[in-house]
Every structure is written in C-alpha cells, then in structure tokens.
C-alpha cells in the first residue's frame, strides 16, 4: 500500500486503520508517515530512499517510532552530516560502484545562458530521436521560459510542468512526455527524484549556481538511463562573478562525471560545507572555521566528558577501563605512510580501508586486518607496513601520555599533554618517565618549548625504530601487563 497527496481522505483513513491493525506488511509514503495519526502495530524495518531530502528531525522522528528499528538509508549523494556519521563509524557504510550494463558517463558542461547554446543542444538531441528536460526552478517564470524556447525552436512541441499543478494535470503532462507527445519539458526540479525516462538524454539546468551539489547530481541522473550518450548543461553567470562555494559546486560536477561518482561528490560536499552538528540538528556547517581535525578532537573530548559526568552511571564499566590521560595521539612524519593508489586503485575502497584501520583497537584485530589486506590485494608494500606500525606507535604513545609525535629527519619529538594543570604531571607514570630519562641508558632527552614539555630522540630511522623505542620505554615505565603489544609482534 502507499499514501500520497493524490489519495482521497477516505482512502488514506482506510489504509491507516489497516496499518494500525497490522494488516499491511509494507507501507510506502513521503514524510507524511511521520504524522501523529499514523500508528504502526509492529514496525521492524525502515528504508529511507533519497535520504538527502529528509531533515534531521524527520529521520530521528522515524527512528523513535520504535527503539529497536533497523534503518537503511539510500542515496546517491549523502548529505555531509550522514556521511560524517559513516566515516566516524557511527553508522555502517556500503558503496555500490558498479553501474548497470552499457551505461555511459554523462558529459557535463558549464556555460552561460545563451540562445545558440540552448538551441543547438535541444536540436542535437531531438535530431537523434531523443527528448530534453529544461530545468527552470521558478514556477512563476515557467510559461514564459517555455514560450521563449518555443520561439527558438518553433518546429518542436514544448510543454511545462511544476508541483503546484493539480495532481491529475501534472500526471497527464508527465505521461504525455513519456509517450513522446512533447520534445522538451520545461519544469522545476520536481523531476529530480523517481523519474526514469530512457529516451530523455539531454538536461539543461538554468541558474545552476542556485542548486546544491546533491540536487545537481540528482538532476544530472535523470538522463543517461539507457545505452545512449547523455549530456548535461549547467547554465550560470560567468565563473569569475560567482561566490566561492557556488563556483566549487559547479567545478565538482564538471570534474566528477564517471559512473558511480556520487560518493566523491558527497565527499567534496562535506569538504565545502562542513559536517554539521552530529549531536544537534544542523546538516552542514561551521567546520571550515576550526578545521576538521580540531573539530574531531573537540567532539571526542566532549563525548568523553559527558560520559564521565552526566552519564557516569550508564558508562561506569567503560570509564573504569579508561585509564589513559590522552584520548588520541597525532603522528607527523616526513616518511611516506599511506595506501598508494598503485596498490588499491579505488578511492572509495582506500577510504574504507583507512576507516577500518583507524577503528582497530588491539593487536588481534590489527593482525586480522593486515592478513585480510594481504589476501585481497597481494604483498603489502613498505608504505602500508609503515602505516600499520604507525597505528601501534599511536597505541604506545597514548599509554605513555603523548598528545603528538613528530618524526622528521631521523629525529623523534614526543609532546606531552599541553595542559600544565593535568593530573598526568602528578601521576606515577610521569615520575617513572623522568626516572627513566635519568638512567642514561637511552638516547632521549627532556626539552621545554614555551610552556610545553617534549622528549627529543636522535637517530630514529623509520617507523620500526620509533616503535622499538616506545616499547622499550613502555616496558620500563609501565606496570607489567599494560604494554600495548609484545615486542615479538612486530
């Protein structure tokens, strides 16, 4: 069963009554299903298609309908907040990269509004037996725009459609277009989702700079739905006159034209707009002001603080296990530490591997992941081995209380917590480190830079040497049994 605005009140009432009694297995609808009058007997699975069209409040309301509900969201271009949830591991992420057979990439061009360009594009399409979408997102100007195109192309049949039409009239217009009674349909972005007309292989978007990145990608996806070459024309004022974000959006669409490139577009959208507020309602924003890494750090610290104060009873077990003085350690180096594209070609696959590597919390999961990569992609190159070693170094650094480490020109610098009032400096751990430095059996020396303390160690040639030094210090200053990994594991 389904519910939409074209159904009568009586039909809706009957459907909702059956839904409340559990007589309907699957209900399809818009966010009208969020209304107070909609009751579910036993809701188990929610599928949100075109997720980018739903607000935070809508999605969270749907999830509160039942605490244990399973949720699957589908989208070609996830909004930044949703994408960020996936990247930080709060939600699982699956990417479908393989297009249907015989599909071709859509040729995308950015240009200015010009009679010759529009006329040539329309005639090129109609001369090969195809049809054209012309997107003009102002209802008031649609008839005039249709008349203008009719004047430029007098031998073609032009019509227009928009969401403020009566239901039957709009349906009739779309069906007539499907049956090829019109060559060009001038419309608003009402056709953005759910329209699949194989014969339409050119789309012209007027004032493209007023659309969001996901909107433009969705509109472009209305064409090229067969084995024919498709074209997308984005009309906007000259690039030099556009705001920075608008220019970036159009350049992104022009750059990413490959099939399955929606994920790269979503990543660029995250970069342009920011991740939004994960604990609040904003879908995008503010990250550019403080930087992504700082934002992540603040978020992690805030969550940890809330667990220790407002929700300490709920997270009692977790808090008892957390005896580290730092949440994370960043490692900076002049060595090449990465998954090279010669080893894993797909950018989305590499991103997924980085995320999984970052989520490894102990030697067992790290070794399993290492073996899996070797099994899937072949012998692991040195840069990737160093990446695994870096993860182990980070574990050791966190246990020792280092917030940051830099390995450059064979010199290792380990930075202690930058809060001088931290309980770390009163701890047995810090006292043990000072005693260890005084023994003279190591190459490390304590140094002060401004208000911060750091260790400087010369002659550290590579990540393996760095790990050996950190493990040696661990064994000397930490009680037995708390070392991050055994020396034999490397």
CB hemisphere CA count around 399 (13 angstroms): 25
Q: Note the helical H segments in 221-362.
A: 244-255, 262-273, 287-290, 292-308, 316-321, 347-359
To the nearest 10 degrees (0 to 180), the angle between helices 382-400 and 347-359 is 30
Distance CA 487, CA 1 (A): 62
Maximum Cα–Cα distance across the chain: 93
CB 61 within 8 A of CB 264: no
Looking at residue 376, what is its pLDDT? 92
The CATH superfamily assigned to 107-259 is P-loop containing nucleotide triphosphate hydrolases (3.40.50.300)
Question: The domain 325-489 is classified under which CATH number: 1.20.120.140, 3.40.190.80, 3.30.950.10, 3.90.1150.50?
Answer: 3.90.1150.50
Strand duo 411-416 + 107-111: pairing = unpaired
Instruction: Give the C-alpha separation, 48 to 193, whole Å.
Output: 13
DSSP 3-state of 287:
helix
DSSP string covering 20-66: HHT--S--EESGGGGSTT---SS--EEEEESGGGS-HHHHHHHHHT-
165 by Cβ neighbours in 10 Å (0-12 / 13-18 / 19+) ranks as: middle
List all residues 6 or more positions away from 215 whose beta carbon is below 8 Å from its beta carbon. 189, 192
Closest C-alpha among 60, 106, 56 to residue 79: 56
Contact 270, 84 (CB under 8 A): yes
CATH class of 2-87: alpha beta
Between β-strands 158-161 and 184-187, what pairing exists: parallel, antiparallel or unpaired?
Answer: parallel
pLDDT at position 163: 86
In this structure, how many other beta carbons lie within 10 angstroms of the beta carbon of residue 139? 15
Range 436-463 burial, b when 16+ CB lie within 10 A, else e: ebeeeeeebeeeeeeeebbbebeebeeb
Q: Residue 170 and residue 164: Cα distance in Å, rounded?
A: 9
Residues 158, 234: contact at Cβ < 8 Å?
no
One fold for 107-259 and 325-489: no
Q: Which two tokens stand for residue 24?
A: 């309907």
- What residue spans define the domains of the chain? 2-87, 107-259, 325-489
Integer Cα distance of 449 and 426 in angstroms:
20
Distance CA(387)–CA(373), nearest Å, equals 13
Tens place of pLDDT for every residue, the chain, 490 residues? 888 877 788 888 899 899 888 899 999 988 778 777 888 888 888 888 876 666 666 656 665 665 567 878 777 766 554 555 554 444 566 767 677 777 888 888 899 999 999 999 999 999 999 999 999 988 888 999 999 999 999 999 999 999 888 878 888 999 999 999 999 999 998 888 778 888 999 999 999 998 887 788 888 888 888 888 899 999 999 888 888 888 888 887 787 666 556 555 555 555 544 544 443 444 444 545 555 555 666 677 777 777 767 776 777 666 555 456 777 788 888 888 888 888 988 877 888 888 888 888 889 999 999 999 999 999 999 999 999 999 999 999 988 989 889 998 889 999 998 877 777 888 888 888 888 888 766 678 888 877 778 899 988 889 999 999 999 898 888 776 444 443 333 3
What are 70's strand-pairing partners? 45
User: Among residues 182, 181, 114, 205, which one has the least CA distance to residue 152?
Assistant: 114
DSSP assignments along 341-391, one per residue: TTT---HHHHHHHHHHHHH--SHHHHHHHHHHHHHHH-SPPHHHHHHHHHH
Judging by beta carbons within 10 Å of its beta carbon (0-12, 13-18, 19+), is residue 267 exposed, middle or buried?
buried
Nearest to 86 by CA among 355, 391, 361, 369: 355
Q: How many CA atoms lie within 13 A of 16 on its CB side?
A: 18
Distance CA 211, CA 328 (A): 39
| pTM, entire model | 0.54
pLDDT the model gives residue 59 = 58
What DSSP designation does 281 have? S
Q: CB-based burial of residue 392 (10 Å sphere; 0-12 exposed, 13-18 middle, 19+ buried)?
A: buried
Q: 369: which 2 tokens? A: 């992941």
In the chain, % helix, strand, coil (3-state, to 5) comes to 45, 15, 40
Residues in the chain: 490
Contact 417, 455 (CB under 8 A): no
Whether 477 and 432 have beta carbons less than 8 Å apart is answered as yes
């Amino acid at each position: 069963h389904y519910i939409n605005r074209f159904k009568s009140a009586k039909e809706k009432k009957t459907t909702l009554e059956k839904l409340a009694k559990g007589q309907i297995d699957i209900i399809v609808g818009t966010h009208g299903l969020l209304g107070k009058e909609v009751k579910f007997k036993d809701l188990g699975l929610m599928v949100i298609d075109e997720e980018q069209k739903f607000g935070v409040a809508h999605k969270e309301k749907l999830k509160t309908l039942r605490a244990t509900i399973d949720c699957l969201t589908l989208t070609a271009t996830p909004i930044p907040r949703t994408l960020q949830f996936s990247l930080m591991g709060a939600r699982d992420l699956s990417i479908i990269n393989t297009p249907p057979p015989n599909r071709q990439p859509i040729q995308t061009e950015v240009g200015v509004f010009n009679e010759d360009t529009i006329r040539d594009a329309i005639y090129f399409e109609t001369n090969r037996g195809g049809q054209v979408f012309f997107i003009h997102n102002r209802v008031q100007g649609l008839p005039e725009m249709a008349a203008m195109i009719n004047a430029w192309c007098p031998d073609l049949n032009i019509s227009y459609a928009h969401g403020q039409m009566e239901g039957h009239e709009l349906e009739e217009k779309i069906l007539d277009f499907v049956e090829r009674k019109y060559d060009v349909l001038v419309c608003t972005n009402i056709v953005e989702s759910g329209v699949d007309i194989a014969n339409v292989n050119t789309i012209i978007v007027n004032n493209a700079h007023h659309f969001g990145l996901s909107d433009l990608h969705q509109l472009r996806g209305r064409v090229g739905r067969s084995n024919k070459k498709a074209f997308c024309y984005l009309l906007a004022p000259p690039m030099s006159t556009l705001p920075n974000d608008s220019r970036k959006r159009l350049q992104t669409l022009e750059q990413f034209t490959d099939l399955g490139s929606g994920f790269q577009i979503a990543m660029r959208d995250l970069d342009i707009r920011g991740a939004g507020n994960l604990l609040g309602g904003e879908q995008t924003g503010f990250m550019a002001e403080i930087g992504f890494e700082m934002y992540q750090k603040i978020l992690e610290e805030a969550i940890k603080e809330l667990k220790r104060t407002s929700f300490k009873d709920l997270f009692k077990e977790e808090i008892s296990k957390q005896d580290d003085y730092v949440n994370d350690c960043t490692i900076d180096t002049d060595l090449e530490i990465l998954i090279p594209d010669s080893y894993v070609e797909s950018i989305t696959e590499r991103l997924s591997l980085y995320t999984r590597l970052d989520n490894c919390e102990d030697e067992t999961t790290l070794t399993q992941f290492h073996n899996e990569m070797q099994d899937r992609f072949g012998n692991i190159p040195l840069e990737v081995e160093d990446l695994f070693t870096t993860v182990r170094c980070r574990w050791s650094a966190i246990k020792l209380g280092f917030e940051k480490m830099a390995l450059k020109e064979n010199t290792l610098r380990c930075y202690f917590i930058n809060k001088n009032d931290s309980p770390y400096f009163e701890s047995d751990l810090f006292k043990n480190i000072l005693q260890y430095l005084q023994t003279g059996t190591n190459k490390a020396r304590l140094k002060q830079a401004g208000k911060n303390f750091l260790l400087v160690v010369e002659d550290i040639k590579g990540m393996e040497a760095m790990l050996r030094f950190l493990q040696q210090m661990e064994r000397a200053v930490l009680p037995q049994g708390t070392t991050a990994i055994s020396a034999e594991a490397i």
